[in-house]
Amino acid sequence: MLSLFDLAQDCLQSTDPQEKSRLTQALQQRWLDGELDFESCSEPQAIGEAGRPARPELVQPREVPKRNINTEEGRVVLAHALAHIEFNAINLALDAVYRFRDMPRQFYTDWLKVAAEEAYHFNLLNDYIEKHGHHYGDYPAHNGLWEMAQKTAHDVMIRMALVPRVLEARGLDVTPGIIKKLQSVKDEEFIGHLHIIQRDEIGHVAIGNHWFKYCCEQRGLDIRQTFKQLIQDYMKGRIRGPFDEVARRQAGFTQQEIDDLNNLELDL
């Protein structure tokens, strides 16, 4: 049988967004069809850059273009920024599959599902961009998600804590506000895409929550204290709010964990 890990690496290395999406969705289906094993004689390679096209140009977050959603171009710029996040999220999910060996079979099922759904999200946003006369890569973007992947490549527990539960969960906080602003300009197509993405991302964050807590339990660690310590160690105790408590509870955060996040905000 073919190796799940080898094929996940092939997907990761693909530089063409459409090809990466196609390969990722095909990989998920082959896994579900029982065509792949998850045994490997080789160790994962040290993390570097995931496959991506030459464009967009990567810049610091403060250099990303501002988005005025009252104009068509402003909404395209916003869609481009979100498409870049979704493209990075494909690579993040694939890297979780490729890098972290010796996890239960369900771990790989979960993260392949995430990868395939992120590919679908990217394609939704990319189609929107192209309908408005632009292409993915036309605007600068930042690389914060993948940089965190590199910082957490040595430990699955830390990856689950800081990527799904912090960076990706931020999308749960901000997307309802974006949808509300888009409603004022009646961009129903964009709004529809964001409703799909928000629904699916709640599930993705829930998967991250589940596996972070699984890792803590396996290691005999207190879940709340471990998470707070990782925020201190990797993010200097800083985490952006405000938090959408309803969406976060749907994604598996307890009220105590949400209170902890709010207390971090007060400590800044």
Question: What are the residue boundaries of the structural domains of the chain, listed by start?
Answer: 2-41+57-267
CA distance 65 to 46: 32
User: In terms of pLDDT, which residue wins out, 144 or 53?
Assistant: 53
Stretch 44-54: mean pLDDT: 94
pLDDT at 144: 82
Nearest 5 degrees, angle CA 204-CA 6-CA 200? 15
**Predicted confidence (pLDDT) per residue in 128-185, tens digit:** 999 999 999 999 998 888 999 999 999 999 999 999 999 999 999 999 999 999 999 9
Query: What pLDDT is recorded for position 17?
Result: 96
Domain 2-41+57-267, architecture per CATH: Up-down Bundle (1.20)
Q: Given pLDDT bands bounded at 50, 70 and 90, which one contains residue 268?
A: very low
Tell me the pLDDT of the chain averaged across its residues.
94
Mean pLDDT of 8-21: 96
Tokens of 190: 């964009």
Token pair for 161 = 């804590």
For residue 190, is pLDDT > 50?
A: yes
Local confidence band at 120 (pLDDT 50, 70, 90 cut-offs): very high
Say if residues 96 and 159 touch (Cβ distance below 8 Å). yes
H/E element, 36: strand 36-37
Overall average pLDDT of the 47-69 stretch: 88
Give the least confident one: 5-19, 47-61, 103-117, 197-211: 47-61
Q: Residue 100's pLDDT is what? A: 97
Amino acid at 254: T
pTM given for the model? 0.95
Across residues 177-194, what is the average pLDDT?
96
pLDDT of 267 over the 60 cut: no
At 265, the pLDDT band (50, 70, 90 cuts) reads: low
The pLDDT of residue 33: 97
